[in-house]
């Protein structure tokens, strides 16, 4: 199945949604929670991408990691990490809205 057909299938079953367009006119899609059950292979690939992207930010000292009393991690992106996080597809933001700008 080619990529366009695959995307159409995922959208049809509700595993992927169109979020909008970026500043260059490219379509932005998101993986829905439904993908866990309806398209586990897509969900697994998405989770691997998120984990790898967070590690990239961490390795470049672009995130803060804080632990609560239950030792659950809270990760926040440092202002200088927003551009890379956007390139990695982790966040969408308007530069005017980034912290400390």
Domain total in the chain: 1
How far apart CA 86 and CA 56 sit, in angstroms, is 13
How far apart CA 85 and CA 91 sit, in angstroms, is 6
Range of the domain at 8: 3-97
β-strands 27-31, 16-21 pairing: antiparallel
Give me 71's structure tokens.
């030792």
Q: Which of 71, 6, 68, 15 is nearest to 40 (CA)?
A: 15
Question: Could you list the pLDDT tens digit for every one of the 101 residues in the chain?
Answer: 688 899 999 999 999 999 888 778 888 889 999 999 999 999 999 999 999 999 999 999 999 999 999 999 999 999 999 989 988 888 875 544 445 54
């Amino acid at each position: 199945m080619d990529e366009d057909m695959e995307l159409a299938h995922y959208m049809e079953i509700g595993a992927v949604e169109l979020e909008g367009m970026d500043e260059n006119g490219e379509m932005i899609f998101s993986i829905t929670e439904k993908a866990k059950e309806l398209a586990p292979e897509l969900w697994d690939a998405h989770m691997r991408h998120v984990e790898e992207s967070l590690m990239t930010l961490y390795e470049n000292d672009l995130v803060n990691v804080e632990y609560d009393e239950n030792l659950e991690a809270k990760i926040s992106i440092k202002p200088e990490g927003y551009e890379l996080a956007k390139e990695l597809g982790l966040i969408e933001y308007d530069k005017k809205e980034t912290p400390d700008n």
